[in-house]
Structure formats: C-alpha cells, structure tokens
Structure 1
C-alpha cells in the first residue's frame, strides 16, 4: 500500500491542477492565523457535507441540491472561529470588483460558502481574519501549486488535543491531486483535528497528542480504548475543513456526494474524527473544464484518496511553533 509520507510535493500534486481552480493564502504576521480562498472564477457547481458536531459555516444552505443557485465562485477556509467568517465579505468584494458573481439584473452577487476552524488559543485571540484578510487572499490567488504548512487557514492549526493543547502538535494546510484518464480530482485541507493524524498506508502516527513529557506520541486511539481519562475538550475548539474539486462536470447532487465520500479520506488518517468537538466540513466543486467525465464511483474514490493525501501533507509540511510558553513541535520533530 502507498505510504503517503514518502510522496514529494510534486508527486502529491495540488488542487490547483484541477482546471479552473486557483488558491490564495493570507497569513497574519501578527500571530499565527489566516485564511485560504479556493477560487473558481468561471463558477463551479458546489456541494458540502458537514460531519463534525460543532461547525462554523456560511452559505452552506444554498449548496443543497434542491435549492436554486447552481454555481458558486469561491470557497473560504479560515481561522479565527466564528469571527473569521467576516473574511468572506472581503472575498465577495474582490470578486465583485472582477465582475464575478450571480447575475441578479442590477449587478452580480458573488457566492462564497465558508467554514472556520478554531485557532484562538494560539497567540492573541483578538487578532483574527477579517474582510481585509479575505480580500488579500484573493489578490494572492493563482493556479500555481500553493504553499503548504503554516500558511493561510492552517497558520494556527494544531492536532492531537485530547489531552490538552500543551501536549498537542502543529497542524497546517496540505493539498494533493490525482489524474485519471484526463480528469483530475484535487483536495486542499486545513487540518486542526482533535485527534491524531496517521499515514493510512503504514498506520504510522505522524502527529498528534504527546506523552506528558512531550517527547513521544501518546497514541490517542490506544489510550482511549484502554479507558484512560482525558481532558474534556471545549466544543468547536478543533475542526478540519477543506475543499475537494474536480474538472469533471457535476450536478449539485453529485457534488454533494463527492463531498460526502471525501470525508472517507479524513476517516482514514484522523483518529478520532468527526467528534462532538470538531466541526469537520468539506466542500466539493466541479468546474467541468476537463471536457470529459468519469463514473461517480471512480470520482468518489479519487476524492477520498486525494483528501487523505492532502491531510497527510498538512502535517508533514507544518513547521514547529513556539509562542509565549506554548511549544508545538511538528511531525518531523517526533517522527524523524
């Protein structure tokens, strides 16, 4: 089985290899937080699936298959908890300036679904993404492979927090893509999970909760199965969010299915996942620019696999962070 931690960034690919998709990050230099925008300037059929019990989202209802609007123009992933949703206003302003949006006769309304993760304990919580941050992420967007790790929505991300933040490790942003018969499926994940992150090919824990001395990995799953007590997490204080995209044409129902099955990729490499304390949310986009399609079974298989690879990339690309008295090592520190 493929060991994802052995994939180079060029081998892993990225979501921007999907025709019609661009990515931009804004990382706040005042503290580790930020936002990431996935742009579809020409519009993309969208879907969403929320599995965590503590989500923070915007404009997800319009993605329901039975609702009117067919396409969206961007998806925002952001830190800052609920305050971070303000960054979507900046994304809308930038898109409006480009003449991009849903035609309502008197103008165009950009449609920007969004999801947040909780990074407030890392640094000064009064600093969080706002409309200017969302605008800056759009201005930085391009079709090149995007930076990974401590950037954008992953700047303040952490993983392995079941035993407290002091025993956690650094999370981040990761991306990957797979192309089959001229059709590409890619994913971009901001991993801020309560649980540990594993390589599903080898079952090796890459990053997660550490032992009390901080030098080794605790193995959250094994510890929970042994009935060990843990520190009760704060609801919504975690969350992995992301986007899976394809250049195959999709209906809204198919986009919803793609988002749903992409969560299988999270389940392969995050333990525990979709907890009462995570707001795990994945969006799906279909640009239709490949000019051809694959059957839905293959598309869903690629979506789950790309999501798993991107999640692994998120922790492998992360760098250690020390802020005040909090030290968050990265995967390379404990898995070397």
Structure 2
C-alpha cells in the first residue's frame, strides 16, 4: 500500500479503482471511479444544463449514505446509459447496498455534450460502462490515462464563437496531499469558456482569434459579439476522491468548495450553456477538518482541469494546447 507521499493517481488511493472506455473513432467515451466498499458521497451542480443521475440521493437529508461509483460520460443525456452498465457489473460482482433480497449498487453520474465532436450517432452505452467497470476492478494497478480518453475523448473548449475557433479539451487528473490526507481529482474538461492555469493565470486553451492564437472568451462575451451556434453544448464534469472521513453534509460542503476550482481555471464558468457538476467520494480512512479537505480538493480540481487541457491532443479538427 503506497504512503500518502507516494500517491500520484486516484487509482493508488486505497479502496479506489478507476478506468475508461474510449471510442476514439466516434469521439466519445466514459470514465468510471469505483469504491467497492462504499464511500460517503456529495455533489454540487452549478451549470445551467446538467445531465445527471442519482444526485438527489446524495443530498444530506436522504437516507442512503453510501456511494459505490461515479460515472463521467460523454454522449449528452444518452450517455447516462453507461451508468446502468456499471451498476449491472457491480451487482454481478456482489458489490452494492444490501437490501435483503439483493445488493443494489449506488451509482451516480453526469454527462457532457460531445455530439458535435466525432460521430453524433454514437454514444457511450451500458456495454461501455460494464467494460470500464471491469477494467478498473480487474487491473487495479494501471494508472489512469489522461487526455483524449474516456469522458475526455470528445471534449472541446472555447466554443462561444463556434467550432472553427474552439480547441480540444480532455481528461485531466491531479492528486494533492497534506500529511496523511489525500485529495485526488478527475475532470473531463468540455467548457464553453477558456482554460487557464489556476496557479499562474496563464492561458492554456480556449477560443482562438483570427490568427490562430488565443483570444479571450470573456472579452468577446462582454463585447456583445458572442453567438453560441450550439446551445448547451458544453459541461465540465469532475470527481474528487479523498481518504478523509466525512459525513454526507461534509462531503456536500467539500463539493461546494471544490466547485470554486472551476472559477479558478475556467473563464467564464457555470454558464447557461454548461452543466458543471462536481462529485465527492470520501473513503473515510483519515480524520481531517472539513475546511482543510475542501481547500485541498479545490487545489486538486483546479490543477486537474488545467491538466485536462494540457494533456489533450489535436483531434476531430480541433487543435490542442500542446500544438500551439
């Protein structure tokens, strides 16, 4: 078991498994994060056009207090089918909430819009969810790939002025530590706005100007010349995984704090054209103050968003940051 100082991926946090299903030809996929023994879950939804599953169940006043998996998926609302496949595979393996007559896996999820990237008729399916779930559990030591994989396969950013000026986004990850406390974040970056480094403010990817360099989406928006060709065609979806011991109310607070990372790394964010969502999974191994957990989670998520833009590769006609 790695010490907290050696953990470099969410897959190295004890009791946590993660993997992707990727359809590179169609430009879509899904990413699955699993805690078979059950985590304490929380969620924060701030975007104006979310596509989600089992978010109400995570509210502190609801009675179910365990979360077995979070599924991040492409495919817009169609992609919610991937979570059904994850639930099927977890049940097949005997993982879930014991309700006497069956074990019911508690699987939450969110989808992003990638139908304008690749083949819009192909979306993540239940089979994709099953495959990603099996891959995560059967190959637990594999690091989580980043870039054009899983839910990040069809991600794009900087789309306010249309696809001809947009850039490629992707799947990013970051892990931060404070003593024995670990907070890792996985983010599929598909923002309407631009992505910047949360530590330096440096622009990474987003809307391009007429010469192919980076413009500023916020300037275009405030200047009144913006025209969104495809409304609700965005959304950055993320999962924070921590070894902290949290109640559902505390996990919800951590999700709310971590959502500030979107404002640190994306401009503008939480627009009516985004469905921004942050999940939290807490495994309960380490006692830590909620404010410390939330601050560390915010740091990890901001850097994961920046990593998603940096790890993306040029594809489907969209240039990536690494190519500028």
TM-score, normalised to structure 2's length? Answer: 0.95
For structure 1, the 5+ residue unaligned runs are: 1-9
Answer yes or no: is the 8 Å Cα contact 2:170–2:312 preserved in 1. Answer: yes
- Divergent runs of 4+, >4 A: none
Structure 1 residue 233: deviation in Å? Answer: 4.8
Matched with 1:329 is: 319
Answer yes or no: is the 8 Å Cα contact 1:12–1:176 preserved in 2. Answer: no
Distance in 2, Cα, partners of 1:86 & 1:96: 16
Matched with 2:236 is: 240
Q: 2:299 matched to 1:305? A: yes
1:143 to 1:179, Cα distance in 2 relative to 1, 3 A: farther
Q: 2:110 matched to 1:115? A: yes
Matched with 1:261 is: 257
Answer yes or no: is the 8 Å Cα contact 1:171–1:314 preserved in 2. Answer: yes
Structure 1 residue 236: deviation in Å? Answer: 2.1
Answer yes or no: is the 8 Å Cα contact 1:17–1:184 preserved in 2. Answer: no
Distance in 2, Cα, partners of 1:106 & 1:12: 38
Residue 284 of structure 1 aligns to a residue in which SS? strand
Answer yes or no: is the 8 Å Cα contact 2:159–2:228 preserved in 1. Answer: no
Q: How does 1:167-246 map to 2 (within 5 A)?
A: 167-213=165-211, 215-225=212-222, 227-246=223-242
Answer yes or no: is the 8 Å Cα contact 1:54–1:235 preserved in 2. Answer: no
Distance in 2, Cα, partners of 1:247 & 1:144: 19
CA RMSD in angstroms, aligned pairs only: 1.5
Of 3, 25, 28, which aligns to 1:30?
Answer: 25
Distance in 2, Cα, partners of 1:49 & 1:157: 21
TM-score, normalised to structure 1's length? Answer: 0.91
Matched with 2:35 is: 40
Q: 2:71 matched to 1:73? A: no
Distance in 2, Cα, partners of 1:19 & 1:236: 37
Distance in 1, Cα, partners of 2:35 & 2:106: 11
Comparing 22-31 with 34-43, which one deviates more in the overlay?
22-31
Comparing 184-193 with 10-19, which one deviates more in the overlay?
10-19
